[in-house]
Amino acid sequence: MIANERNKRPIISFGLGKTEMTITLGDTVTIWQNEVYNNDEFGLRYLGVKKNLYSFELTPIAAGVIEIQCSILNTAETIEIKSNIIKLTVIE
């Protein structure tokens, strides 16, 4: 049971479970993760700037469609667990 929790897939969204969003170039978007992982055991790999334990921010530099995925790394076992993929459309 503990192994199941330890290897649980992270879930990310734009808030309230939203997995697709459209923004204008230059806007900043907040990406939320559903759980906080123990920093001593896991490292979080993500694109953007960490805002707090539950979120990070991303400011795209070009228009287009961006697929965003983060992953956690279990440092003791060198296991990488990837999150779901969310889609951000950036328009000019």
54 contacts 36 by C-beta, under 8 angstroms: yes
For residue 53, the 8-state DSSP code is T
Mean pLDDT of 2-10: 68
7 or 13: whose pLDDT is higher?
A: 13
78 has a pLDDT exceeding 70? yes
Question: What letter would DSSP give residue 70?
Answer: -
Give me the pLDDT at residue 44, please.
73
- Class (C level, CATH) for 2-91: mainly beta
Q: In whole angstroms, give the CA distance from residue 54 to residue 59.
A: 17
Contact yes or no for 80/8 (Cβ under 8 A): no
Give the pLDDT mean for 55-61: 92
Please write the tens of the pLDDT for every residue from 11-56. Answer: 999 999 999 999 999 999 999 988 877 777 777 777 778 888 788 9
For the entire predicted model, the pTM comes to 0.83
Could you tell me the residue ranges of all domains in the chain? 2-91
pLDDT on residue 48: 78
